[in-house]
Structure 1
Amino acid sequence: MRLNRTQGAAVTAVALAVLFAGGAVTVASADRDEAPAGPPTTSADAGFARDMSVHHQQAVEMSFIVRDRTKDEEVRRLAYDIANTQANQRGMMLGWLDLWGLPKNESGVEPMTWMGMGVSADADALDGALMPGMATDAQMDELRRASGRKAEVLYLKLMTAHHRGGVHMAEGCVQKCGVAVERDLAQGMVDSQTSEMALMADLLKKRGG
């Protein structure tokens, strides 16, 4: 069957479209294959994401404890803000580890190694305080037993120390992390937790702490 000029042009256009589409798929596949990998498991980016996830988890736990141990609206509101913010940030950091194909817990690597200040992972020796500012197991138990004004003061003191350690870690990421979005998150932690420490100092003063 012979094609007229219009039909021939249409066939040629379809053939070129298929050819270009195939080329685009090949290029896209090549781009995916050659996409740069995420940071290595020994990097500051991975270390910060792992360690700060653990650090944040304790802050969330402390905040839920005090929420149930006091009726004071100021402290309960602060606890809610800290729990909500740090739970969301923890989810982001764990999501990055998944995206990078890295384990959430690196066996054999001590906490804070990425900052050049490895802390012994012996929980018995540290009583659960694996990183700067973290409360010990004994302090967590004390918070669970406390109520009212005593729970408020203890929470504010423990969370102030917790924030101080968290700011130290976040400043380390700002200096050492290579992933820009993670550095931005770390700087945000420095700013927000510094502001919260000032607020907690005022709340402690009001409670004679």
Structure 2
Amino acid sequence: MMNSTFSIFDPMSSLMNWNLNWVSTMLGLLFIPQTFWFSPSRLSIFWMKILNILNYELNLLLENKKSKGMTLLFVTFFTYIFFNNFLGLYPFIFTSTSHLSLSLTLALPLWLGLMLYGWIKNTNHMFSHLIPQNTPFMLMPFMVLIETTSNIIRSITLSVRLTANMIAGHLLMALLSSNGSLLSLPGILFLTFVQFFLLILESAVAIIQAYVFTVLSTLYSSEVN
């Protein structure tokens, strides 16, 4: 029972010690038709409109003309997480974003790079963020401690938020579907309706979590400039 329920999160399907499930992180490229790359199509035009809207919003968040080129990095993050989240909704496809090993790989280098850049290039600006304006003198040491802790755990919160949201919905669907063989026909019909509703909800979560990860990363980068 436990093995079948959690098998969707198991990365250990292997061949000659190669973890084949992680191949799904690049599987999204196979779902894109060749016309997307070689000629303008409705799919490519629609996707470019989405990316242009996202790029415009990220530029507004940065509020710094010198940092506008960074939006390419965050749009790439959005695209990569978006495809991997959606691929996890297909049957028998490994959900790579439900593992901290992937989400931390995205969040930790980004956070570390921003912190190094901020403290080396804009040291005074980074120190000013540790104490908000109009903070009483007696509370300044506590605010420094709180802000420092908040900065340190940002990479963890980014990765855990993405991982937890992807695990929760998939696990709920797996737990409900495992009881299908014990139900009568009306129960199976009701379970099918619930699963369909959860699938729509998970599709929305896949988009929202990619967007949240991208926007929060952009906000963190705007604080170091």
Say yes or no: TM over 0.5: no
Give the number of the structure whose alpha-carbon radius of gyration is greater: 1
**TM-score normalized with structure 1 length:** 0.30
Higher helix share goes to which structure?
2
**TM-score normalized with structure 2 length:** 0.28
More RCO (CA 8 Å, sep 6+): 2
